[in-house]
Copies of this chain bind each other. A is one copy, B any other.
Amino acid sequence: MTSVQGLKGTRDFYPKEMNELNLIFNVWKAAARKFNYQEFDGPMLEPAGLWTLKSGAEIPEQMYCFEDKGGKKIAVRPELTPTLARMVAAKQKELQKPIKWFSIARCWRYEAPQSGRLREFFQMNVDCLGAESMMADAEVIATAVEIMKSFGCTENDFYVRLNNRKLIASLILGAGVEKSKLQEVSRVIDKKDKLSEKDFILTLKDLNVKQEAIDNILVMLKSQIADIKEEKLDESGKKGYRELMELIGWLNAYNIFKYCKIDFTIMRGFDYYTSTVFEVFDKSGEFRAIAGGGRYDDLVSDFGGEKCPGVGYGMGDVVLGLFLKKLNKMPAANPEVDYYVAPVNQAVVKQAVEIAGKLRKKANVEMDLAGKSLKKQFEYADSIGAKKIVIVGEKDLKERKVTIRDMKSGNEEKVDLNSL
A residues engaging B (CB < 8 A)?
Answer: 1-7, 10-15, 18-19, 21-22, 33-36, 38-47, 49-50, 53, 64, 66-69, 72, 74, 76, 82-83, 86-87, 89-91, 96-98, 101, 106, 108, 110, 120, 128, 130-133, 135-136, 139, 142, 146, 249-250, 252-255, 301-304, 335-337, 349-350, 353-354, 357, 360, 363-367, 369-371, 380, 383-384
Contacts and interface: CB of A to CB of B under 8 A. Distances in A.
B34 A365 contact: yes
Given A136-B369, A255-B354, A353-B253, A120 B302 contact: no
Contacts of A136: 369
B7 A45 contact: yes
Contacts of A45: 7, 10, 64, 76, 108, 120
Q: Report which residue of A44, A83, A336 has the largest number of chain B beta carbons within 10 angstroms of its beta carbon.
A: A44
Contacts of A36: 337, 364-366, 384
The prevalent SS among residues of A at the interface is mixed
Given A44-B120, A135-B369, 9 more contacts: A1-B304, A2-B303, A12-B90, A15-B38, A18-B38, A33-B336, A43-B120, A98-B370, A139-B369
B11 A43 contact: yes
B6 A369 contact: no
Contact of A89 (B3, B13, B350): B3
Contact of A15 (B21, B40, B46, B254): B40
A75 B76 CA distance: 11
A40 B64 contact: no
A69 B110 contact: yes
A384 B36 CA distance: 10
Given A68-B64, A120-B44, A364-B33, A7 B369 contact: no
A304 B2 contact: yes
Nearest to A48: B4
The 5 closest A-B pairs by CB, nearest first: A3-B304, A66-B66, A10-B43, A15-B38, A253-B350
